[in-house]
Amino acid sequence: MLAAPECMRLLAVAAKESGLGRIGVPTDHAPVVVPVNFGIRDHLIVIRIGPGFFSHIADGKLVAFEVDHVDTEAGVAWSVLARGLATVTELLTEEDAAIVPSPLVPEPGRMILTIRPDVLTGREFEFRRTT
């Protein structure tokens, strides 16, 4: 198990390197998990979204966010899971736009979904490389 500060460090590294993670949100029928681009600002996970599903379903809810990484050359992998309160706000400044990566979707939207990582868990492990 990884300590919370190391989990946050790995999230920051992933945000700079690939910026890809998965957010899980509750719905009335079943949880929904979607890949998203993300950034880190003031120890918060930030995701740029548009009006629609996420802006309505995630705001004020407890959500899960996961990032993982596999280094096939080194034979090491890690995974970090953040759980916490999601809040949706308008994208107000150009500074926000510089920190929050633009999604790969054709119309990225101008809202920010912020996840407060109340619970951070992670693990790192070695695996056997196959040739």
Domain span at residue 56 reads 4-121
Predicted local distance difference test score (pLDDT) of residue 105: 73
Predicted local distance difference test score (pLDDT) of residue 94: 72
The structural domain count of the chain equals 1
Could you give the 3-state DSSP secondary structure of residue 37? strand
In a domain, 128, yes or no: no
In a domain, 15, yes or no: yes
| Residue 112 belongs to domain with CATH number | 2.30.110.10
In a domain, 100, yes or no: yes
Q: How far is the C-alpha of 131 from the C-alpha of 124, rounded, in Å? A: 22
Predicted local distance difference test score (pLDDT) of residue 61: 94
In a domain, 131, yes or no: no
pTM of the model: 0.88
CA distances, 76 to each of 14, 83, 92 (Å): 15, 24, 39
In a domain, 130, yes or no: no
Place of tokens 């959500």: 63
In a domain, 126, yes or no: no
Q: How far is the C-alpha of 101 from the C-alpha of 108, rounded, in Å? A: 10
pLDDT (tens, 9 = 90+) of the chain, 131 residues, equals: 999 999 999 999 999 887 899 999 999 999 999 999 999 989 999 998 888 888 889 999 999 999 999 988 889 999 999 999 999 988 767 776 677 777 777 777 788 899 999 999 999 999 876 65
In a domain, 129, yes or no: no
> For 30, which DSSP code?
S
